[in-house]
Amino acid sequence: MRTQVAIIGGGPSGLLLGQLLYKKGIDAVILERKTRDYVLGRIRAGVLEQGLVHLLEEAGVADRLHAEGHEHDGTVIVHDQTSFRVDFRKQTGTPVVVYGQTEVTRDLYDAREAANLPTVFEVENVKIHDAKGNSPYLTYQVNGTPKRLECEFIAGCDGFHGVSRRTIPDDVRQEYEKVYPFGWLGILSQTPPVADELIYANSDRGFALCSMRNDHLSRYYVQCPITDTVEDWSDDRFWEELKRRLPSEIAQQIITGPSIEKSIAPLRSFVTEPMRWGNLFLCGDAAHIVPPTGAKGLNTAASDVHYLYHALTEFYHTGSREGIDSYSQKALDRVWKAERFSWWFSSLMHRSPDQTPFDRKMQAAELAFLAQSDAQKQVFAQNYVGLPY
C-alpha cells in the first residue's frame, strides 16, 4: 500500500490531521493499534481553545460541537474558603468551549468513515524505516500478517509510549521531564454540574476541580498521593473529600451519585526535542505531555497539527519546504509556553509533600495577587484561552 502521508495513531491529533489533509486533497492512511471502540472509551478532558475549534470547523466536523458544546466565559478559583473569578471575555474577548475529547474523536471518526478514508485498526509491531531518506515506509502486522505502507512523510501521533519518538536516535533526541509527587483521582457521574463554569480549588487538604461534560454529566477531581489506587477510594469517600476542599456554599450545592468511571492519573511535564527527524514529524503526546491543570494537552496537540497541516499543504501545493523545515521550532516555541503555564498553574494550586511553610505563604500571596490584579488576570486568561498559533 502507498500513500502520501502515513499517520501513526488514531487518536484526536492523528484523526484531525488526516481530516484536514483530506480537505486539501492530500492522501493519508491512519494506523491505530487498538479498536475504534477502545479509543472512544478513553475519558479525557474537554476544554477546547478557539484555535482547536477553528481547526475542527476547517475540517468540517464542528456541527455537533456548536450544537452541544458549552462556551465558558471564565473560571472560578478557590483558595481555602474564598473564591474569585477570572473573566475570559473581559480580559481577552474570547471564551473556551467545553466539549468532551471523546466527542471530538467520535466526530472525526464519523467524518473519516463517511468519506471512506483508510484507517487500519489493531496494528502490531509498527516499525519506521528510512525516515531520513527519500523513501520512508512503515512495516507492521495485522492479525499476524506482515504489511508494508510506503509514503513520503510520517506523522507520529502515537502518544508517549508509541514507536515514533523512540525512532529518533538517542544522540539526536533530548528529553526534558518533571514528575509531580501526586496524582489526580477523577470520577465521572451522571449528575448535573455544581456550576456553569469550572472551579479550581487550592485547599489545605490539596487540590480539587469541579468540571463538566454536559448538563447531566459531571467530572470531578481531587489531588491524591501517587501511591493510592482506585480501590482505596469508595464513591462516598470521594464525595466527602471533594466537599471538604470547597467553600461550604459550593459544597452544599453538589449533587452526588454513583461514579460511572473512576481513575487516577499521574502528573508530569515532558518535552522531547526535536519534533522532526527527516521525514518523520512528532505530534501531541508523542512529543510532549503537560499536567492537566491548565487543560493544555489536547490543545497543544492541536497546535502541532496546525503547523504540520499547513507545512504539508504548502509543500504539496507549492513545492516549498519552508514550513516543513521550520515545523519543529514553531511547534516547540508554543509547546514550551504551554508547558510553562501548566507548570505554573499546577505549582500554584497543589500541595506538594515537600512544601515548606514559606512555600505555602508564597502560594497564598500569588493567589491573592491574581485575585486583586487585572493585569495578572489578563495574563492568566490569555494563557488559559490559548496563545495564538
Catalytic residue among 79, 262, 288, 296: 296
Q: What is the pLDDT of residue 71?
A: 95
Report pLDDT for 41: 83
Cell reading at 182 = 501526586
Classify residue 214 as left (phi > 0), alpha (psi -120 to 50) or beta: beta
Residue 223 lies in a domain: no
Q: Is the residue at 376 inside a domain?
A: no
Rounded Cα gap, residues 190 and 219, in angstroms: 9
pLDDT in tens, 334-367: 999 999 999 999 999 999 999 999 999 999 999 9
Cell triple for 48: 477546547
Per-residue model confidence (pLDDT) at position 20: 98
Residue 248 carries which DSSP code?
H
Identify the pLDDT of residue 273. 98
Query: Is residue 301, in this structure, part of any structural domain at all?
Result: yes
Q: Which is catalytic among the residues 99, 140, 200, 316?
A: 200
Q: What does the DSSP assignment read for 331-362?
A: HHHHHHHHHHHHHHHHHHHPPPTT--HHHHHH
pLDDT score at 80: 80
pLDDT > 70: what percent of the chain?
99
Identified catalytic residue from 72, 79, 288, 377: 72
**Is 66 one of the catalytic residues?**
no
| Number of domains observed in the structure of the chain | 1
Residue 284: half-sphere exposure toward Cβ, Cα within 13 Å: 26
Measured from the Cβ of residue 177, the count of other Cβ atoms closer than 10 Å reads 10
Parts of the chain with a pLDDT under 70: 43, 45
Cell output for 99:
466539549
Residue 249 within any structural domain of the chain:
no
Contact 250, 208 (CB under 8 A): no
d(CA 298, CA 277): 23
Whether 307 maps to a domain, the answer reads: yes
**166 in any annotated domain:** yes
Give the range of the structural domain holding residue 46, as residue numbers without chain letter.
5-51+102-177+268-347
| Residue 102 buriedness (CB in 10 A; 0-12 / 13-18 / 19+) | middle
384 catalytic? Reply is yes
Residue 366 lies in a domain: no
What's the predicted TM-score (pTM) here? 0.95
- Residue 291 annotated to the active site: no
N-term to C-term CA, the chain: 34
Catalytic choice (292, 306, 327, 350): 292
- For 16, 179, 183, the CA distances from 271, given in Å and listed in that order, are 21, 12, 19
Amino acid 73 reads: D
Question: Packing angle between helix 50-58 and helix 12-23, nearest 10 degrees?
Answer: 50
Q: What is the grid cell recorded at 341?
A: 503555564
Give per-residue burial for 41-68: e unless 16+ CB within 10 Å, then b: eebebbbbbbbbbebbebbebbeebeee
Distances (CA, A) of 136 to 122, 153, 261: 22, 7, 41
Tell me the pLDDT of the chain averaged across its residues.
96
From the list 184, 172, 128, 170, the residue with the least C-alpha distance to 297 is 184
Distance CA 17, CA 26 (A): 11
Report the distance separating Cα 225 and Cα 232, nearest Å. 11
Catalytic-residue membership of 147: no
CA distance linking residue 374 with residue 87, whole number of Å:
10
Distance CA 269, CA 177 (A): 5
Cell (9 digits) for 327: 515545523
Question: In this structure, what CATH number is given to the domain that contains residue 332?
Answer: 3.50.50.60
Exposed, middle or buried, 352 (CB in 10 Å: 0-12/13-18/19+)? Answer: middle
Residue 378 maps to a domain = no
As a whole number of angstroms, the distance between CA 338 and CA 218 comes to 26
The pLDDT value given to residue 85: 97
**Cβ pair 225, 266 in contact under 8 A:** no
Q: What tens digit of pLDDT does each residue of 55-79 get?
A: 999 999 999 999 999 999 999 999 9
Amino acid identity, residue 346?
A: S
Predicted confidence at residue 45, as pLDDT, reads 67
296 is catalytic: yes
Which pLDDT score, from 0 to 100, does residue 42 have?
Answer: 78
